[in-house]
Amino acid sequence: MASSAIKSGALVTLPELNPSSQFFEEGASLRVTGKLQEYSVETAIAIIADGSAILKIDTQHLRDLSFRVGSIYQFIGELHIQLDNEAILRARVGRNVDGLDLNLYHQSLQLLRQFKADHMSGTTT
Partner 1 sequence: MEHSPPKSLQNTHVKLLAFDLLSLTPTPDPTTFSRFGKLLLSRVEILGTITSRDYKPNKFLKFTIDDGTGSVPCLLWLNHLNSPYFSRRDPPTVRLIANVAAGFAAQIKIGVVCRLRGKIGSYRGEVQVTVSDIVIEKDPNVEVLHWLDCVRLARKCYDVVSNLN
CB of residue 60 to partner 1, shortest distance in Å: 15
Closer to partner 1 by CB, 34 or 94: give it: 94
How many angstroms separate the first and last alpha carbons of the chain? 34
- Using DSSP, state whether 3 is helix, strand or coil: helix
* Rounded CA separation 31/46 (Å): 15
The alpha-helical segments, DSSP class H, found in 27-125 are 102-120
**Cβ at position 111, least distance to partner 1 in Å:** 6
* Interface with partner 1 (CB under 8 A): 1-4, 6-11, 31, 62, 64-65, 72, 76, 92-95, 97-101, 104-105, 108, 111-112, 115-116, 119, 122, 124-125
> Residue 86 or residue 112: which is nearer to partner 1 going by CB?
112
Q: How does DSSP classify residue 8?
A: -
Kindly state the smallest distance separating residue 62's Cβ from partner 1, in Å: 8
- Residue 69 or 112 with smaller CB distance to partner 1: 112
- CA–CA separation, 14 vs 32, rounded Å? 7
